[in-house]
């Protein structure tokens, strides 16, 4: 463009000089009446005319070439006169936007086509180049096409300037960059959004939460609430119905949760079945409670995933800025802590973070850390509690109960460390240790000439989920030369969450090889009468919570429950064992109901192996009732 302009300027200067010379010769020749000078002037005029014709021809050729270039270029071409504001655009640019070749666009019309959000940036980019602040003009912006949609174009141009540096012309090209922009937008969306639900992901959460905290700190517009939401027993849905159904559930729950938030709120899928909400500008807890109640109700509503009807609930933990944390990470951690407290409460509830929860988390972490070294440090031991026949008072068995005396010499209650062992997965290694230790005690008692009763060991569903559990247990018995009848395996009703699971196959293998099976804590979990037909249990253990009610003077429900349970056990040919017997009145009631076996502090607390041998194997237990029948 600059070289072409210099050529035009040179030709125009030559034409001007020639014309002036011709005019001067004619004037002098005519004034002095000199023929030679007149003819010279005529000759110069002829030369000037020839130069003028050539200049016009060259300009026409140049503009024809320019027009051909504008029509034939794959990019759209344009030129603009910043003085007259005249705009010329090529057919290719019009085609990009869907307009016909005879569609006329002036400067004002072009600006009207630019997206309103891009106009200010476009004008700034043009002005900066006209001012000389940039070597060339380039800007990407949206332009309205004929069909009403917007196309992304990248416009590049350069100004032609006079000797004073003033722009006298701008020209350049336009490229359709819509596809690239859409690809970039998809990549950007994937980087900040969950692919399954379309919700924001953790990367976007960090930005939104940090921004909400900064605004709350700067503007004093209330606090910021963080809600940590976990779907209760979502793993069961995946295990029973498959991950496809689980994905359908997550998508629907995401839609429901999104309907519970305001436009200024942020809903994030943290991963798996966990969601996080950020609620800016809230008070505590008045503004949060209605939102939580609304989302809990939304989650509880039944939904269909194909032909499967699902009913789930959620556990919600809440933390608030600035009371529960001054930064994003602290707020998220504390909301997570509150959520786990809600899950430990049974789910379908909300828990607001308290300082006491932090103490509980620290205690839990300390327990989990200590448990990892408990076996190596020989801190674990087994205690045994006798199981007595109610009718005869005979010792018919005992339950092996795990005890832990930690490195500080403190006895940690089982209800504190067993759940931690379960959730952390350490229960598998600890369970293997319990099996080995119980069998070693039996071997030791037998070597001392004693006749130990059947020993019941507790086995968790997580242990049973380990492939080959039954085989390892039977191999441990064979290695010590013990018959299968010396053991009874106790499981809780949680094993029935997955009736088709491998855990049931492990139990069936134990039963086929002569190991008795007991259903522990009956009635406190997921009990269903149909489940009792899945496995031929030998013993049904009634939970202590039911035993505690049978001697209450104003509560007749305890007797009714026990009567029904015992009658059902008889129908399934199972022995009934009542645990947690602590008062004589409870024992009398159980005798009247014809319960088979009892266990509890009324007879003995759990004691170590040596004390158990002295009190129950050598001396024999005291009779709890007049002999009437034998318990098997």
CA angle 534, 536, 542 (to 5 degrees): 95
Q: What's the gap between Cα 314 and its chain centre?
A: 14
Q: Which fold has domain 385-618?
A: TIM Barrel (3.20.20)
Q: What are phi and psi of 395, to 5 degrees?
A: -75, 115
The mean pLDDT of the chain is 82
Q: What φ, ψ does residue 381 adopt, rounded to 5°?
A: -150, 165
Segment 283-310 shows an average pLDDT of 85
CB 463 within 8 A of CB 428: yes
Q: What is the CA radius of gyration of the chain?
A: 44
Hey, what are 597's tokens?
Answer: 């076996």
Per-residue confidence at 86, pLDDT binned at 50, 70, 90?
confident
> With bands split at pLDDT 50, 70 and 90, how would you rate the model's confidence at 2?
very low
| CA–CA gap between residue 516 and residue 577 (Å, rounded) | 14
Q: Which residues pair with 404 in a beta bridge?
A: 380, 412
* Nearest residue to 576 (alpha-carbon basis) of 442, 446, 421, 387: 387
Residue 18's pLDDT band, with cuts at 50, 70 and 90, is: low
Give residue-wise pLDDT tens across range 341-390: 898 888 889 999 988 887 777 787 888 888 888 988 999 999 999 999 99
For CATH 3.30.450.20, the residue range(s) in the chain are 2-180
Q: What is the mean pLDDT of residues 307-316?
A: 88
Among 326, 327, 324, 322, CA closest to 337: 324
For 402, the enclosing helix (H) or strand (E) is strand 395-405
Mean predicted confidence (pLDDT) in 254-259: 92
pLDDT average, residue stretch 115-133: 91
- pTM equals 0.57
Torsion of CA 475, 481, 482, 483, to 10 degrees: 80
Q: In the chain, what percentage of residues exceed pLDDT 70? A: 80
Say how far residue 346 (Cα) sits from the centre of its chain. Answer: 21
Q: Dihedral of CA 364/366/377/425: which sign? A: positive
2-180: CATH topology: Beta-Lactamase (3.30.450)
The pLDDT, as a whole number, for residue 279 is 92
Give CATH 3.30.70.270 domain extents, the chain: 197-353
Q: Is the pLDDT of residue 490 over 90?
A: yes
pLDDT computed for residue 3 by the predictor:
46
Please, which residues have CB within 8 angstroms of residue 274's CB and are 6 or more apart in sequence? Answer: 228, 229, 230, 231
For the ranges 149-163, 368-382, 386-400, 521-535, which has the lowest average pLDDT? 521-535
Residue 512, preceding bond cis, omega within 30 degrees? no
- Predicted confidence band of residue 128 (pLDDT cuts 50, 70, 90): very high
For CATH 3.20.20.450, the residue range(s) in the chain are 385-618
The CATH label, of 3.10.180.10, 3.40.250.10, 3.30.70.270, 3.30.930.10, for the domain at 197-353 is: 3.30.70.270
**C-alpha to C-alpha distances, 57 to 2, 51, 63, 81, 120, nearest whole angstrom:** 20, 10, 10, 23, 42
Asked if 562 and 593 touch (Cβ cutoff 8 Å), the reply is yes
**17 falls in which pLDDT band (50, 70, 90)?**
low
Q: Which residue has the higher pLDDT, 613 or 567?
A: 613
- pLDDT at residue number 568: 84
Number of residues written out for the chain: 632
Strand pairing class (380-389; 395-405): antiparallel
């Amino acid at each position: 463009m600059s070289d072409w302009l210099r050529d035009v300027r040179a030709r125009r200067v030559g034409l001007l000089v020639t014309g002036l010379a011709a005019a001067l010769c004619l004037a002098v020749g005519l004034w002095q009446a000199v023929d030679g000078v007149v003819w010279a002037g005529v000759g110069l005029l002829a030369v000037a005319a020839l130069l003028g014709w050539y200049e016009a021809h060259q300009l026409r050729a140049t503009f024809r070439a320019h027009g051909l270039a504008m029509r034939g270029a794959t990019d759209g071409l344009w030129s603009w006169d910043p003085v007259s504001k005249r705009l010329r655009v090529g057919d290719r640019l019009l085609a990009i936007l869907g307009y016909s070749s005879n569609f006329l666009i002036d400067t004002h019309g072009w600006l009207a086509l630019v997206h309103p959000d891009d106009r200010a940036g476009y004008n700034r980019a043009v002005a900066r180049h006209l001012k000389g602040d940039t070597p060339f003009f380039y800007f990407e912006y949206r332009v309205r096409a004929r069909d009403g949609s917007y196309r992304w174009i990248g416009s590049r141009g350069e100004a032609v300037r006079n000797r004073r540096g003033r722009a006298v012309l701008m020209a350049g090209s336009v490229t359709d960059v819509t596809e690239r922009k859409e690809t970039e937008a998809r990549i950007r969306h994937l980087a900040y959004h969950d692919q399954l639900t379309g919700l924001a992901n953790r990367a976007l959460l960090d930005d939104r939460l940090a921004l909400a905290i900064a605004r709350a700190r700067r503007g004093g517009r209330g606090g910021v609430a963080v809600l940590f939401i976990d779907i209760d027993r979502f793993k069961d849905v995946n295990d029973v119905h498959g991950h496809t159904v689980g994905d359908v559930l997550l998508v629907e729950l995401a839609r429901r949760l999104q309907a519970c938030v305001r436009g200024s709120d942020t809903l994030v899928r943290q991963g798996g079945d966990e969601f996080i909400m950020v609620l800016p500008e809230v008070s505590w807890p008045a503004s949060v409670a209605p939102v939580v109640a609304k989302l809990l109700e939304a989650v509880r509503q039944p939904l269909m995933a194909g032909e499967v009807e699902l009913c789930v609930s959620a556990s919600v933990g809440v933390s608030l800025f600035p009371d529960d944390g001054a930064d994003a990470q602290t707020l998220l951690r504390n909301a997570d802590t509150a959520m786990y407290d809600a899950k430990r409460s049974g789910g379908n509830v909300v828990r607001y973070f308290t300082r006491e929860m932090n103490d509980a988390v620290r205690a839990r972490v300390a327990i989990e850390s200590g448990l990892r070294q408990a076996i190596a440090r020989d801190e674990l031991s087994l205690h045994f509690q006798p199981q007595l026949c109610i009718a005869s008072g005979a010792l018919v068995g005992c339950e092996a109960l795990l005890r832990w005396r930690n490195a500080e010499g403190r006895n940690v209650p089982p209800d504190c460390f067993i759940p931690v062992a379960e959730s952390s997965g350490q229960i598998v290694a600890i369970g293997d240790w319990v099996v080995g230790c119980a069998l070693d005690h039996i071997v030791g008692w037998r070597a001392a000439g004693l006749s130990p009763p059947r020993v019941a060991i507790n086995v968790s569903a997580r242990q049973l989920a380990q492939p080959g559990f039954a085989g390892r247990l039977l191999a441990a018995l064979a290695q010590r030369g013990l018959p299968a009848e010396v053991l009874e395996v106790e499981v809780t009703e949680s094993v029935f969450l997955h009736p088709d699971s491998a855990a049931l196959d492990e139990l069936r293998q134990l039963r086929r090889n002569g190991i008795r099976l007991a259903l522990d804590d009956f009635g406190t979990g997921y009990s269903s009468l149909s489940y009792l037909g899945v496995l031929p249990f030998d013993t049904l253990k009634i939970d202590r919570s039911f035993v505690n009610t049978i001697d209450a003077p104003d509560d007749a429900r305890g007797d009714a429950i026990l009567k029904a349970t015992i009658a059902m056990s008889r129908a399934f040919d199972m022995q009934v064992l009542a645990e947690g017997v602590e008062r004589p009145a409870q024992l009398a009631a159980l005798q009247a109901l014809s319960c088979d076996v009892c266990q509890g502090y009324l007879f003995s607390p759990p004691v170590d192996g040596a004390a158990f041998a002295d009190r129950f194997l050598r001396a024999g237990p005291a009779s709890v009732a007049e002999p009437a029948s034998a318990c098997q």
